[in-house]
C-alpha cells in the first residue's frame, strides 16, 4: 500500500514525499511499481509523460527513518499489520517528528488509541485507511482514537481532499473500521469455498464480480492485499472480538506458511509473473 499512497500524494496532491522502507531492495521495488503505474496512466491518456515525470521527481526514496520523517508535517504509516512492529515504529517516529506533526496510520485492524499511546502526542495520531489500489480507489476511512483532536481530523480531511478522495469518519476506535468489518468474513468465506473444493478461484471471483458487481473478485483482492496481511487482520479481529466469524481459514494459513502471499511474492491464488507485478499471468 505504501507505494500507492506515495504515488497519490505526489501525483494528485502535488506533495513532496519521502518513501521509506526497511531495505533498499524494497524501496526499489516500490519505485518500480510506481513507475509501472504512472506508465499505465500515460498509456491511457490520463496523464502526460511530463506530469508522470514530475510526480516521480517529488518522491524521495530512503531507508533512513530520521531522513524520511524529519521536517514532515504528515507521516502516513503503512507497515505490516503487526501490533508489536507498529508500536515499536510509533515510538521511534515519535522521537523524530515535531510535536505538532500529524501521524496517520493506514491500519485496517489495529487500535488507533493503542498506537497513539506509544507516542508523546496521541492527539495527533489518527487512522487514515486507504483502499487498494490507492491510485484508483476513491475512499479513505478516517478513524478517531480516544485522544485524537478535531484539528488532527481536519488535517486528514484536507489532505484527502487534496488527493481527490472521499472520506467517511469512524467515530469510535473499532478494529476493522467500517469496510473491513464487513469484508474480512466475506474474503475468508471465499477461501473456504476453494479449500472445500466447491469452486476454483477463477469461478469464485467471476461469481462475485458478476453476481455482486464487485470490481474485483475476493481472491484476486486477497492477492493484492497480501495473504499475510489478511491473516494478521483476521487474527487481530479474533483477539479483539472473540467471534468465530473472523477465524482465518486453514487455506490462508497454509499459503502464508508456504510463502504464497499474492502479488508481493509473485504467486498466491494467481500467478503474478514476478514479485510485485500489478497484473496476473494469462
User: Active site includes 60?
Assistant: no
CA gap 38, 48 in Å, rounded: 9
Catalytic residue among 129, 188, 232, 265: 129
Phi/psi for 62 (5° steps) reads: -165, 160
Residue 240, C-alpha cell as written in the block: 479483539
Residue 149, C-alpha cell as written in the block: 483532536
For residue 63, how many C-alpha atoms fall within 13 Å in the half-sphere facing its CB?
8
Catalytic residue among 105, 106, 108, 109: 108
User: Active site includes 101?
Assistant: no
CA gap 179, 185 in Å, rounded: 11
Output the CA torsion sign for 104, 56, 54, 69. positive
Catalytic residue among 101, 141, 188, 234: 141
User: Active site includes 3?
Assistant: no
Catalytic residue among 72, 105, 109, 180: 180
User: Active site includes 18?
Assistant: no
CA gap 203, 182 in Å, rounded: 22
Q: Which positions are catalytic?
A: 108, 129, 141, 180
Amino acid at each position: 500500500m505504501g507505494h500507492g499512497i506515495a504515488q497519490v500524494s505526489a501525483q494528485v496532491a502535488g506533495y513532496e514525499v519521502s518513501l521509506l522502507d526497511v531495505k533498499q531492495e524494497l524501496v526499489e521495488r516500490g519505485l518500480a511499481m510506481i513507475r509501472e503505474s504512472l506508465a499505465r496512466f500515460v498509456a491511457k491518456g490520463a496523464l502526460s509523460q511530463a506530469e508522470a515525470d514530475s510526480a516521480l521527481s517529488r518522491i524521495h526514496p530512503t531507508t533512513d527513518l530520521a531522513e524520511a520523517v524529519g521536517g514532515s508535517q504528515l507521516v502516513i504509516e503503512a507497515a505490516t499489520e503487526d501490533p508489536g512492529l507498529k508500536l515499536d515504529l510509533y515510538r521511534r517516529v515519535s522521537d523524530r517528528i515535531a510535536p505538532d506533526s500529524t501521524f496517520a496510520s493506514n491500519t485496517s485492524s489495529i487500535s488507533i488509541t493503542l498506537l497513539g499511546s506509544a507516542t508523546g502526542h496521541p492527539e495527533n495520531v489518527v487512522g487514515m485507511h486507504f483502499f487498494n489500489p490507492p491510485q484508483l480507489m476513491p475512499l479513505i476511512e478516517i478513524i478517531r482514537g480516544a485522544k485524537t483532536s478535531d484539528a488532527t481530523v481536519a488535517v486528514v480531511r484536507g489532505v484527502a481532499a487534496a488527493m481527490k478522495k472521499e472520506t467517511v469518519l469512524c467515530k469510535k476506535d473499532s478494529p476493522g473500521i467500517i469496510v473491513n468489518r464487513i469484508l474480512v468474513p466475506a474474503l475468508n468465506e471465499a477461501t473456504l469455498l476453494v479449500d472445500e473444493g466447491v469452486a476454483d478461484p477463477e469461478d469464485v471471483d467471476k461469481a462475485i464480480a458478476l453476481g455482486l458487481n464487485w470490481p474485483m473478485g475476493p481472491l484476486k483482492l486477497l492477492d493484492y492485499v497480501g495473504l499475510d496481511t489478511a491473516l494478521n487482520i483476521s487474527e487481530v479481529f479474533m483477539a479483539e472480538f472473540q467471534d468465530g466469524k473472523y477465524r482465518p481459514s486453514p487455506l490462508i494459513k497454509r499459503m502464508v506458511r508456504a510463502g504464497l502471499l499474492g502479488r508481493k511474492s509473485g504467486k498466491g491464488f494467481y500467478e503474478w509473473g514476478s514479485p510485485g507485478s500489478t497484473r496476473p499471468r494469462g
